[in-house]
Structure 1
Amino acid sequence: MPDPSQKDTETRITLIGTGTIGLSFAAFHLTHLDSPSQLTIYDTRTDVAEYVQNSLPNFFTGEDKASLPSVSGIKIAKSLEEAVANASIVQESGPENAPFKLNLWAEVEKHAPKDALLWSSTSGIPASQQNCKMQDTSRVLVVHPYNPPHIMPLLELVPSPETAEEVIERTQDFWRARGRVPIHIKKETTGFVANRLAFALLREAVHLVNQGVVSVEELDQVVQTSMGPRWAVAGPFKSYHAGGGPAGLEGFFKNIGGTVQDCWVDSGTPNVGDGWEEKMFKEAKEAYGTVDVGERDRITRRVLQVIEEERSKGGNTK
């Protein structure tokens, strides 16, 4: 496997959109390119150069900030045509708006190199709804990050039925070479995979708080002191497979499958009803105020580092 610490001297990346996700990707790419000049940013906001100059350093902390390449070396394009003309990769993180993306890719296709990879960071607009105005519908691939992408390793690669296999493979190679975990999602599905799992848990969490079973803060404590640490080390299938002893997942379900089924039946399709938002929002604000995302990111980085270090000791990468 290529060394993720090795700087990339050839790839030219164009980022479209300078929201939180766009700048987070910029922070990631900036630390993996040999020169900031290999990174081009395009945004329609009039103060984009000043905004990037002031905002991008905030995505780095400690030693990373000390060794941060010169942000001023990033190219700021004045037009979409200029931005994509020589790009190896065009990565859009623009508004969650299907017409915007439809028109964007039609224009990008006109001006970008024929072999450039075209990625969308969308959280919910499938590639098959973005490529309809393109001549070659095989080019667009959803590359959905888990926020913030400059820290979190996961990238969900979600092709349309027309997306070329070569596009998927080249994208997988790119991210793996940089120490990331690209997962090929085989079918377009609402919310993809990570968000569906997270939102399923969130729905049950809202239901439990709304029913007065626990408070917002207590619910978070339950997750942080149980499944949170466990799932950071092993996902639900691996965790319960281990919980079944020598018989694995089959043993787990033989032992407590009845309880699992009872919980599933009791959950059903929870209807959290109307008017729950104000109570839930108030509890969250009282419990946490304004969350320090810097602290969150610092702890998340360290958790990921420790997991990687411990896995490396045992030669286990799964």
Structure 2
Amino acid sequence: MSSQRTMAVVGAGVIGLSWARLAHRHGWRVAITDPRPDLGELVAAEFGSDDRVSWTADLTEAVRSADLVQENGPERLAVKQQLFAEILRAAPADAVLATSSSSITASLIAADLDNAGRILVGHPFNPPELMPLVEVLPGKKTDESTVTRAVALYSELDRVPVVIRKAMPGFVANRLQMALSAEARYLVQSGVVSVEDLDTILQNSLGLRWATIGLFEGNVLGGGPGGARHLFAGVGAEVELGKPSADPEAREQLIESIENAYGSGEQNYRRLVDKRDRRTNAVLEALAKVDDRPAVHASPNV
């Protein structure tokens, strides 16, 4: 990897700063831009006086030398369209221009923009410095060469980019998460299991399994030597999944159960972040060891 790579981080919120830490850890230069008045203090608190990290309220200045622009602004289409219109005018001709959006597609952002072949979605699983997945979703105007460059750049950052070829609300990872979450809420609301016990079940079954093999790969193992074909042939009647209650009182009861189990507030949030980061790093390091590849350790931050 060239030490001269530069990431322009547009938006210095939780996701943006996590991208910045990731790029910085990999030896990239990082230019951070955000209109917030305390940007200088925020960057100094994160990176000190490191000359590989710069900050400015001027979007044009921030993206001028970028290999990868990673936009992390508000989830509002009009805002992103305005940002990318400015980014297109100022960024290098070969820069990949990506949005971290979890819901707004590149096609919508680029709808009224000319020469928008460099725009795509680079959706991380939060936080990007810790979770390897990046969903790469090109838009109708995105050049295939931009997709190729995006995959290469994210790979240099030791992320796992997966190209999504059809836009659907929530893309892929969040759709899977929402489906599982809906059934989990239904089971808790129905009195089948407590909040704590449901999490214990996931951690000690599906969570552990899916950290090591995929769902369809598990189907092969589930069918024994006959593989997925044998498993599917023997599957019985499908289970009808439940629908969580939309009643405000039931929702409030669920939230209270979650808060009783895991707490709330700033200090508690930091404690849970530390727990998540330590455990996730341990899993990543263990997998790297057994797969005989370098471990990529994320810093213990949000």
Task: Normalising by structure 1, report the TM-score.
Answer: 0.86
Check the 8 A contact 2:88/2:116 in 1, yes or no: no
Q: Describe the SS at the equivalent of 1:40.
A: strand
CA distance in 1, matches of 2:277, 2:141: 37
| One-letter code aligned to 2:39 | V
CA distance in 2, matches of 1:75, 1:46: 15
Within a 5 Å distance, the mapping from 1:200-219 to structure 2 comes to: 200-219=179-198
| One-letter code aligned to 1:241 | V
Q: Describe the SS at the equivalent of 1:41.
A: strand
Cross-structure match for 2:34: 43
| One-letter code aligned to 2:181 | L
Check the 8 A contact 2:100/2:121 in 1, yes or no: yes
- Cα distance per residue 1:227-262 (max 9 Å; x no partner): 11001001111112111101111111223x114x2x
Cross-structure match for 1:287: 261
Q: Percent identity?
A: 38
| One-letter code aligned to 2:98 | W
Cross-structure match for 2:23: 29
| One-letter code aligned to 2:30 | L
- Cα distance per residue 1:153-197 (max 9 Å; x no partner): 110001112211000001111122332210000111100100000
| The 10-residue stretch of structure 1 (17-26 or 301-310) with the greater mean CA deviation from structure 2 | 301-310
Cross-structure match for 2:284: 304
Check the 8 A contact 2:185/2:244 in 1, yes or no: no
CA distance in 1, matches of 2:202, 2:66: 43
Within a 5 Å distance, the mapping from 1:182-221 to structure 2 comes to: 182-221=161-200
Cross-structure match for 2:247: 274
CA distance in 1, matches of 2:225, 2:91: 55
Cross-structure match for 1:60: none
Unaligned stretches of 5+ residues in structure 1: 1-5, 58-68, 314-318
Of the three residues 8, 11, 19, the one matched with 2:5 is 11
Q: What is the count of residue pairs matched by the alignment?
A: 286
Q: Describe the SS at the equivalent of 1:267.
A: coil
CA distance in 2, matches of 1:90, 1:179: 17
Q: Describe the SS at the equivalent of 1:76.
A: strand
Cross-structure match for 2:298: none
| One-letter code aligned to 1:42 | T
Within a 5 Å distance, the mapping from 1:43-192 to structure 2 comes to: 43-54=34-45, 56=46, 70-71=49-50, 73-192=52-171
Give the deviation of 1:11 after TM superposition: 1.4
Say what the alpha-carbon RMSD is for the aligned residues. Answer: 1.7
| One-letter code aligned to 1:30 | H
CA distance in 2, matches of 1:70, 1:253: 58
CA distance in 2, matches of 1:52, 1:143: 23
Check the 8 A contact 2:33/2:57 in 1, yes or no: yes
Q: Describe the SS at the equivalent of 2:211.
A: helix
CA distance in 1, matches of 2:128, 2:164: 18
Unaligned stretches of 5+ residues in structure 2: 294-302
Cross-structure match for 1:252: 231
With over 3 angstroms needed to count, the CA separation of the structure-2 counterparts of 1:271 and 1:173, relative to structure 1, is same
Check the 8 A contact 1:103/1:133 in 2, yes or no: no
With over 3 angstroms needed to count, the CA separation of the structure-2 counterparts of 1:73 and 1:182, relative to structure 1, is closer
